[in-house]
Chains A and B, each alone.
Chain A
Amino acid sequence: MSAQEIVRSIAYLAWSEARAGLTSVRLIAIASIFGFPTVLLAYALGGSSLGGGTGTFPVWKLGPDGALLALAFGFAPILLPAVPLGLAYDVAKRDARSAYPEMLFTRSVPRWSAALGRILGLVATCSVLILIVAGASVAALSSAAGAAPSAGLVAAFLGSTLVLGAQYVVAGMLFLMVLKPSQLAWISFPLWVYNQAARPLDLVIAGQFLQILPILGPVTFVPAWSDLATFTGMAMGVIAPFAPPSGGLVAPPSVVDLGGSVAFTAVSLAGPIVVGFLVLLYLAAVSRMPLGR
């Protein structure tokens, strides 16, 4: 098996997986059910930003940038995980019907490469769907606000949603190594709840709750590290460097607050690094683990 054959196989399997996902009625339905409310919320936030604000709370009163921050930090992490989790469920249902993994992982290419092709295709599928929803949300917000958020913040928002989606979809595929489709549906909910609840709970435990709730001061050392505990926190970390200081959400790097600066940088990089780690874990699991029980 040559390197060329492996690369060709990975490229084809990624394309094939993406085609199967993007033509799945079930998946499109799930993405629509959770995508439309996201777009509507974005439109509402854009409209309510028109009043203008003097303080830092509520954040959406700070114009289009503030409205996008509210969407990115408040609503997108709640609604968008449905897309990657729905994708993993859709894959599980298709696999159960066709015995596709048995065929795929017994081909002449090494299993890790077949798994890589598959996971790349799934991440691409998830990314396309999330970009459509997130892009439409930005467009709706801009339309309602009468102005677009800053380009850097929009790019960071789209990047964060992609990181969030990739984390969930790879985690879903890892769960499917040991779970049945119906069990995945049940485990998805606690996973989602954990990612929504762990971060604020961690902030409470860290004694920072009162500082954060009214968004009066910068997020510093302890809460920044607490972001590493959840997919949501890590996705927010992607946006942090692009958030306007007036949002009061992040602390800029500072030699005075070295701990806060390290935490700030770590959280910003953590999301993509964790995606890479989860992908490697998936490849190792498919290569080394049996596919049946």
Chain B
Amino acid sequence: MTAAVIRVRGISKRFGPAGAMALDNVTFDVAPGESFGFLGADGSGKTTLFRILAGLLPPTAGRASLAEMDVTESRGFLGAVQGYAPQSAQMPLNRTVADVLGSWARANGLSVLVRRRRVSELLSSLDLDARADVRVVDCTAYEQRRLALAVALLTDPPILLLDEPMAGLSPADLLAFSKHFGHLKDAGKTVVLSAPKLASLQPVCDRILTLAEGRATRPYETLKLLEVVGEARHARVFVEVDGNAAGAAGVLRSVSGVLEVGDTGAAILLFVRPGMFVEQVALAALEEAGIRVRSLKSAEIVLNDIVRTLVRREAT
């Protein structure tokens, strides 16, 4: 087993003494040369995790290290081993692609010769050479994403931390972009990236950690995750009853196919397994218990539900 190049142990983050837990006891390792993904909806804790790994945020608890450098103790020098592309970074819109890349190369202290060679290499390898003299404002989202990746790659760091590098890309762009990640993997880079959609990470990542409301699963190999997600697929059913909602929830918990029973405030929320859950059975059970049902509606599954189910399943 190769030693992990990124090691995260029990990282938690709470914003303010009474704030919500943005991350709750997250633990994982990333091996050298691995492509590793964070999968989760907005607000799941992906960006917080990136900012902790980049040394920008202190964890409330736990430890993390990049290339043996503790992210808290060595935060002033982490840039030597990682290239970070924040989700919120805004490139200067009125400057050209080559100018932006050259500016960051100078900010990194590269000499004139190294700077010219490196900028030229990156423009070429990321298929941006034809767009070098185009202003950022006139670039497509895909071109801007490749420019952000080029900035992160300027000093050829062994680790890349890319927060939602594929946000806003079309399926065709996603496919094209995955080719570039393949080149990074061939070059031995350790790449950590995030996305809210499994389809974005699937072609790129060796393993994926899923996050929901700050809690994480263990990392799954991508193929295994696809299999597990398939098993975890479920539907949501909202049930409204007159009176005795607690009693109704108890009745519904015993109905076949019901995985979990929650409460939205306005309705009882059921997570059910399609095929096993039969609406008529649920209605009959409630009627038998003397509870009047006002409505029963099914809703589409969403990623957060899948991830939440995985997290809860692992917790138990």
Contacts and interface: CB of A to CB of B under 8 A. Distances in A.
The finding on whether chains A and B are genuine partners in a shared complex, rather than unrelated, reads: yes
Contact of A107 (B51, B90, B108): B108
A198 to B, nearest CB: 33
A108 B155 contact: yes
B84 A108 contact: no
A22 B75 CA distance: 31
A9 interface: yes
Interface string A11-26: 0110010000000000
B171 to A, nearest CB: 27
Interface stretch (B53-61, B185-193, B246-254): B53-61
Given A106-B54, A291-B56, A292-B56, A8 B111 contact: yes
B126 interface: no
A6 interface: yes
B79 A9 contact: no
Nearest to A104: B107
Interface string A271-288: 000000000000000111
B103 interface: yes
B79 A106 contact: yes
A99 B89 contact: yes
B108 A9 contact: yes
A4 B58 contact: no
A290 B75 contact: yes
A5 B88 contact: no
A4 B108 CA distance: 11
Interface in A73-124: 97-99, 102-112, 114, 117
Interface string B75-86: 111111010101
B104 interface: yes
Interface residues of A, number: 34
Interface residues of B, number: 32
Interface in B61-97: 75-80, 82, 84, 86, 88-90, 92
Contacts, number: 101
A111 B109 contact: no
Contact of A111 (B51, B77, B86): B77
B77 A110 contact: yes
Contacts of A9: 106-109
A255 interface: no
B33 interface: no
Contacts of B110: 5, 8
Given A4-B111, A293-B15, A105 B56 contact: yes
A103 B151 contact: yes
A8 B82 CA distance: 20
Contacts of A151: none
B157 interface: yes
Contacts of A107: 79, 104, 107-108, 155
B18 to A, nearest CB: 14
A1 interface: yes
Given A99-B86, A99-B88, A106-B56, A8 B79 contact: no
Q: Name the 4 nearest CB pairs between A and B, nearest first.
A: A5-B109, A9-B109, A287-B76, A111-B76
Interface of B: 15, 51, 54-58, 75-80, 82, 84, 86, 88-90, 92, 103-104, 106-111, 151, 154-155, 157
